[in-house]
Amino acid sequence: MSNQNRKVIENLMSRTKIYMIIIAILLIVICIYEIRLIIPAIVMFFAILLYSYQIDKKRKAEISKHIHELIGDVDSAAKNTLINSPFPLVILETDGNIIWKSSKFVDEFMEIDINVYLDEIIKEVEQEIGHSNGKRQSIMKQIKIGKKIYKILGEYVKSKKGKKDEYMMTLYFIDNTENIDLFTKYMNSQTCIGIIMVDNYEEIIQRISAEEKPQMIAKLEKAIYDWANLTGGLIIKTERDTFIYVFEKRYLEQIESSKFSILDTIKEIKIGAKQQLTVSIAISEEGESNYSKYKSALSALDIALGRGGDQAVIRENGKYIFFGGRTQELEKRTKVKARIIAQALEELILASSNVVIMGHTNADIDSIGSSLGIYRLAKTLNKEVNIINNSSGQALNSFLEALNQQEEYQKAIITKTEAIQKMGRETLLIVVDTHKKTYVEAPELLELTPKIVVIDHHRKSTEFIDNVTLVFHEVYASSAAELVIEILQYCEKEIELTEIEAESLYAGIMIDTKNFTFKTGVRTFEAAAYLRKCGVDIIKIKKWFQSDLENYNIISEIVRNAEIVEDSIGISIYNKTDRDAGLICAKAADELLTISNITASFVIGNLGDKICISGRSIGDINVQVILEKLGGGGHITLAGAQVEGMSVEEVKQELMKSIHEYFAQIG
């Protein structure tokens, strides 16, 4: 009998006692006034007492019987509910033994081998048992069985068999397929916003005849509209070279699987000037409103353009997914942007208390030369200026030795610790030859000032430095040195470079273009011509980067041990742990490209604390896209990466995987 039922009976008994006390008092009062009634009163009181006892006993029996009947009804209902459960129900033990299953369970999974799925659930429960300390634990998971998706609810408890590690589970299988389908339909109906921009619209329009312009525009717009119609999308032309693309998310997978065929369709459009049209596409599904998705797509488009154009970027689930990007960057013929940047940079330098310049880690001559060019600009404007450099090695030793012989630069070049002490809110921090916040010489400096300038020529990655004041980022440029020279040429104040500054800038261009054979344009040679007027000694520069016989033999051995993958990719390893492995790998990768039928090369080396990779290509293979998956970057023809926490062999396997994925993507 439950406590609640006991309380009911006790309440009844207490009320009877009160009534009897009241009757007794009344009888005593009557007897005081009439003594003759004492005996009849006593008889009457005991008669009432006996009657009350009998009535209470009978009522107690009736209540008890009612309670037992009620409990019996509840037990029966529970049993009937269990047996006739509207959901498939099974009771089993962790050894796989099924104790009982409902008729609904049998009917639901008659044509399915349900034991396979039950074994999977048992394995998951066994993994959780160690954390439960033998207590009752709930089970909730989702699983696809056949064509349906079920939500599994239940509990598991220690088995009463006495076996130490045996548990018993009760599982309900709730068909959740319809809810999942409704949710999927809802998600698929969400809007995706895309932006399509023609990379070289202005350049081509200026170079073709008036008769060809409407034909080109008609072909371009027809290709874009036809492609959008495949997904039921809406295309809105907002500018001469820009289109907004709106479509439902259900078609995003279809667009990805087609690998943005529109990129190749646009390039096939014939133009009289024998130039190739290319487009950049950015699509975003992220954002609570269409406007926020549009802003996200704009950011993605900026990355696509910063990577050289002719590619598509999808912003999905917090990540950027890239497609295309197999053509060379287009050189801009106008220098208007360089002139505007030069004027803005002068104003920023003049408005700052001091200037600090830094390049990327493991600095090369392009990074150092660009830093020296900006150093001379700040000095000409009478500002305190310093360059951070913690790098050395075979690639820079000869140059740094020549630089240190001049007293001016002994104080100008400082360490990271010294730079931190010089930083303030009014300090102008200029980053050259990189835009990646994780790849600069001193990442801490980025947080110490709001005034940051970035000058870089590498294809844009997703790790771009945040909240920069001024950006000069042109992927068509051969080197950061080329961009710095253009800035110096357009400054209002005439800049006079010293001999070593001019030579370091020339060396930066020469090294990044592999002696003016890769990634050169008209503006590259214009920059080189400007430096020649400054008195550059080319023979001295060549001596800075000469290899000795030992290193030449090492490079020859690396080339000899190369293996070929995907018919045209050369991969080799420099096994020795060497602080100059980066330079040796770069030279070996260059040497591999001199072999016929090799269109791209990768050489892996061990720096000690990191594994480095140098990638080179003659243009058919985009080595930047391949190495980007290993945290690297660069250009189509020249890229690199540094990997931590992995062995040389592990890095090789990851590189091979990235190469295979690249070829699978380009079909």
Instruction: Show me where the domains of the chain are located.
Output: 3-83, 89-180, 189-324, 336-544, 549-666
Q: What are the phi and psi torsion angles at 145 (to 5°)?
A: -125, 115
CA distance linking residue 516 with residue 547, whole number of Å: 19
Distance between CA 546 and CA 373 in Å, rounded? 24
- Confidence label for 294 from pLDDT (cuts 50, 70 and 90): very high
Q: What distance in Å separates the CA atoms of residue 305 and residue 155, rounded to the nearest whole number? A: 55
Strand segments (E) across 133-260: 137-145, 148-158, 167-175, 191-198, 234-239, 242-248
CATH topology of domain 336-544: inorganic pyrophosphatase (n-terminal core) (3.90.1640)
Q: What is the CATH number of domain 189-324?
A: 3.30.70.270
CATH of domain 89-180: 3.30.450.20
Q: What is the spatial distance between Cα 99 and Cα 105, in angstroms, rounded to a whole number?
A: 13
pTM beyond 0.75: the answer is: no
Cα(655)–Cα(281) distance, rounded to whole angstroms?
27
Which are the contacts of 397, defined by CB distance < 8 A and separation ≥ 6? none
497-544 pLDDT, tens digit per residue, is: 999 999 999 999 988 887 887 778 888 898 889 898 888 888 888 777
Residues 415 and 388: their CA atoms lie apart, in Å, by: 6
Phi, psi dihedral angles at 652 (to 5 degrees)? -60, -45
φ/ψ (deg, to 5) at 566: 50, 35
**DSSP state letters, 166-198:** -EEEEEEEEE-HHHHHHHHHHHHTSEEEEEEEE
Give the separation between CA 439 and CA 632, rounded to whole angstroms: 10
pLDDT of 245 > 90? The answer is yes
The predicted pLDDT at position 2 comes to 46
Q: Could you say which DSSP state residue 440 is in?
A: B
SS3 409: helix
Determine the Cα–Cα distance for residues 196 and 235; give it in Å rounded to an integer: 9
In angstroms, the first-to-last Cα distance of the chain is 77
Rounded (10°) angle between helices 499-512 and 365-380: 140
Residue 281: the pLDDT is: 94
Q: 139 has which bridge partners?
A: 154
pLDDT over 80 (residue 235): yes
d(CA 8, CA 28): 31
Average pLDDT in the 348-357 region?
Answer: 94
Q: What is the pLDDT of residue 104?
A: 85
List pLDDT tens digits, range 453-502.
Answer: 999 988 777 788 888 899 898 888 889 999 999 999 989 888 999 999 99
DSSP-assigned beta bridge partners for residue 144? 149
The whole-angstrom separation of Cα 261 and Cα 228 is 11
165 near 276, Cβ under 8 Å?
Answer: no
Identify the residue with better confidence: 172 or 395. Answer: 172
Answer yes or no: are the C-beta atoms of 172 and 155 closer than 8 Å.
Answer: no
Query: Right CATH number for 549-666 from 3.10.129.10, 3.40.50.920, 3.10.310.30, 3.40.190.120?
Result: 3.10.310.30
In this chain, the answer to whether the domains covering 89-180 and 189-324 adopt an identical fold is no
Distance CA 6, CA 17 (A): 17
CA–CA separation, 613 and 581 (whole Å): 9
- Across residues 414-426, what is the average pLDDT? 91
Structure confidence at residue 242 as a pLDDT band (50, 70, 90) = very high
DSSP state of 431: E
Beta-bridged to residue 175, according to DSSP, are 150
Helix (H) or strand (E) holding 266: helix 262-267
